[in-house]
Amino acid sequence: MRLSIAAIAQVALTGALVHAASTFSPARPPAIPLAVRSPYVNTWLAVGKDGGNGGYLAGEWAQSWSQHTNGWVGLIRVDGTPYTWMGAAANGPAAVDQTEFSYTSTRSNFIMNVGGKVGMNITFMSPVTPNDLKRQSLTFSYLDVAVHSLDGSTHNVEIYTDVSGEWASGDDSAIIQWDYNTANGVAYHTIARQQQNEMAEDREQAAWGTWYYSTADGEGLTYQSGIDTDVRAAFAKNGVLANSKDTNFRAVNNQWPVFGFTKKLGAVGGSSVSTVFSIGLTQDNAVNFLGQGSDLTKVPALWKSYFSNSLDAMTFFYNDYATSASLATDLDNRVASDSTAAAGQDYLTITSLSVRQTFGALQFCGTDSAPLVFLKEISSNSDIQTVDVMFPSMPLIIYTNPKLLAYLMDPLYINQENGHYPNKNAIHDLGTFPNAKGYPAGNDELMPLEECGNMIIMTLAYAQRTGDTAYLNTHYKLLKQWAAYLVDDSLVPANQISTDDFAGSLANQTNLAIKGIIGLRAMSEIANMTGNSDDEKSFGDTASSYLTQWQSLGINQGANPPHTTLSYGDNDSHGLLYNLYANSLLGFGTSFVPQSVYDMQSAFYPTVALEYGVPLDTRHSWVKSDWMLFAAATSSSDTRDMFIKKLANWINVTPTNRPLTDLYDGNSGDFPGITFNARPVVGGHFALLALPK
């Protein structure tokens, strides 16, 4: 049985009235990451008032980014009295009092007060290990439930948690099957769709693969699968489960089967007792890909390269908690110290919320010696390997491990170098996740100038950061072909869309032109690094000449203050000149684009700022958070801080209730009629930290 949304809101409201308010630190995000590891392990708690309950773990269902409930319940008994600490189970016991919420790059942490007797420290940790592919390949997440006495007495404590079949299928009428077993010290439930539809999705959740919900095997553990209300009621009443399996395999929504664990902690005193759970998905093949050869091939998930079967992968992950937690702390600390040093706490509020979301859109595939990373353009089409989504995501990739940039671009190069794309420009994407079928007919979304510029800029950024000039040689032919496109189209761009396709198509876009021109300058650098002196000179001369002309075409010098226009000659228009960022990223500095352009834009932006940010351009009051931080990275410190302060404040107050949208209205802070969410482009928030040292 399910509560209606209205009923859930009612419970949440009642809860909020009864209980003291929680603090939220460093901010109250629009949605809280719970288990966010990959496009299909992507579960959140809605917070913003568009549909969230304000950030309380008890009283609301966890859900996928696509807003499908992923039933996840937590109960606790203290001296025989049951309470709810997670989820919105119908007729469940009263909620614990949530007093604190905080987040870091890898963790969401809730502090609960249970009847004044017991404190709970509940941590959802989704590891991010960009330099450790074995660990990064495991699409699992941890839940750590620590309990201690608050009042100086010892208390008898049992904890309970379950997951529903909703994790294993976005279609609630699909039949699932399940099992329970133990291995390598780990007790686990498996849940899977009975009919495995490989490479298919329901409601953006995978229709194939096996889910594991796991904890340590040992004394005090009981388990049960069965009807949701039965299993939960058994715990609430007795504090133990029946150690029994429901054998009636059925649809997700047919008497909602759930998969529960209880742990009897016994007498709990002042020192904290912790129980760890893990949730995750294993798939043998993760993506279909048109690469080498003329047919689609199935690409294995990368974990297959390190483990002989999914059980080994799962038990490795579970038993790795201590190491994984310490690696997570290293990353948390690195992001914290670098972000605060670069631009203070507001910047850390933004960056630390963006890490799991960015990596959560990536699926690691291939083999240890030839990894391929596939990106899902979550929420806006679900395209796979979208070049102009990879481009804004790039700063976090460069900051953590620039080699990943090659693993992301490789599928694009492999597809195009094997003759699967007929056009002269760079391809826009490879299809719809998880099927990278490419566009042999050349009928992809046409964003030619955008993608030619993006590919050249990303490829040079990769080679500069890694020293891998061989990569430039390998792909020189295509790079030069794309540069030729830029020679033809970058100075006077034809009527076309840019990455901001929602804003419409336009000729002579000033910001798009500068991307192409910097792309030509980048091609000159690539030619230099590969010993192609003629190309170096030719592309370099064209870039310089175009840049000079661009300054008279794209700048309204007569305005007060002067600024670049949205499109040539449209004097009253303006827009974020976020593509200037590439000039800094690639280290060209003011030897290419003059300092006066940087200074002019930096002085201009504050004059057109709205409550929650600087609008993308004069067509709408819409704000793009990734592009704002690209602009921030090329601004004076005052203007930079203005961008950052507005974005950090927006995160804390936005009514949006889904994983961080990068597009919102600058006046209301709400969705502008388009509900982007959970997109990896928030990796662009690391723009300041990806600049060359």
Nearer to ligand NAG, 183 or 492 (CB): 492
Q: Shortest distance, CB of residue 122 to ligand NAG, whole angstroms?
A: 8
Q: Contact region for ligand NAG (CB under 6 A) — 164-172, 256-264, 355-363, 550-558? A: 550-558
Which of 101, 439, 568, 578 binds ligand NAG (CB under 6 A)? It is 568
Residue type, 371: P
Of the candidate residues 25, 323, 571, 607, the single one contacting ligand NAG (CB under 6 A) = 571
Distance of closest approach, residue 256 Cβ to ligand NAG, in angstroms: 30
Q: What is the DSSP string of 49-73?
A: TTT--SS-SBTS--EETT--B--EE
**Contact by Cβ (8 Å): 67, 45:** no
Q: What residues have CB less than 8 Å from 79, skipping those under 6 apart?
A: 117, 155, 156
The least distance separating ligand NAG from the CB of residue 474, rounded to whole angstroms, comes to: 18
Interface positions, 107-166, toward ligand NAG (CB under 6 A): 109, 111, 121, 123, 144
Residue least distant from ligand NAG (Cβ): 558
Structure tokens at 129: 């290990």
Contact flag: residue 492 with ligand NAG (CB under 6 A): yes
Site for ligand NAG in 52-111 (CB under 6 A): 109, 111
Buried/exposed 486-515: b ≥16 CB within 10 Å, e otherwise: bbbbbbebeebbbbbbbbeebebbbbbbbb
CB of 336 to ligand NAG, least distance (A): 12
Q: What DSSP state is assigned to residue 683?
A: G
CB of 8 to ligand NAG, least distance (A): 27
- In whole angstroms, the minimum distance from the beta carbon of 592 to ligand NAG comes to 13
Closest approach of ligand NAG to the CB of residue 594, in Å? 17
Question: Residue 188 has which token pair?
Answer: 């686990």
Alpha-carbon torsion angle 339, 342, 344, 350, nearest 10:
-40
What residue ranges in 104-220 does DSSP mark as E strands? Answer: 107-114, 118-125, 140-149, 155-164, 175-183, 186-193, 201-202, 205-206, 210-216
- Each residue 162-191 as x (binds ligand NAG by CB under 6 A) or -, in order, gives ------------------------------
Size of the site for ligand NAG (CB under 6 A): 18
Between residues 103 and 433, which has the closer beta carbon with respect to ligand NAG? Answer: 103
Q: What share of the chain is helix, strand, coil (3-state, %, to 5)?
A: 35, 25, 35
Residue number, 507 or 674, with CB nearest to ligand NAG: 507
- Nearer to ligand NAG by Cβ, of 419 and 558: the residue is 558
Q: Determine, following the binding rule CB under 6 A, whether residue 558 of this chain makes contact with ligand NAG.
A: yes
Shortest gap between Cβ of 140 and ligand NAG (angstroms)? 17
Are the CB atoms for 462 and 468 separated by under 8 Å?
yes
Taking the complex as a whole, the smallest distance from the CB of residue 533 to ligand NAG amounts, in Å, to 4
Of 248 and 557, CB closest to ligand NAG: 557
Nearer to ligand NAG, 115 or 442 (CB): 115
Q: Which of 141, 210, 315, 556 binds ligand NAG (CB under 6 A)?
A: 556
Report the alpha-carbon angle 553-559-565, nearest 5. 40
- Which residue number, 64 or 573, has a Cβ lying nearer to ligand NAG? 573
**Applying CB under 6 A, which part among 182-190, 391-399, 425-433, 551-559 lies near ligand NAG?**
551-559
The minimum distance between CB 673 and ligand NAG, in angstroms, equals 28
Compute the distance between CA of residue 42 and CA of residue 167 in angstroms, rounded to an integer: 10
Residues 503-542 binding ligand NAG (CB under 6 A) are 507-508, 528, 531, 533, 536
Which distant-in-sequence residues (6+ apart) come within 8 Å of 135 by Cβ?
127, 129, 320, 324, 327
CA distance readout (Å), 90 to 2, 8, 164, 227, 434: 6, 9, 14, 13, 35
For ligand NAG, the closer CB: 153 or 533: 533
Beta bridge partners of 42: 36
Using only C-alpha atoms, the chain has a radius of gyration, in whole angstroms, of 26
Q: Are the C-beta atoms of residues 222 and 182 closer than 8 Å to each other?
A: no
Smallest gap from residue 514 Cβ to ligand NAG (A): 14
Q: Is the CB of residue 245 less than 8 Å from the CB of residue 259?
A: no
| Residue ranges in contact with ligand NAG by CB under 6 A | 109, 111, 121, 123, 144, 492, 507-508, 528, 531, 533, 536, 553, 556-558, 568, 571
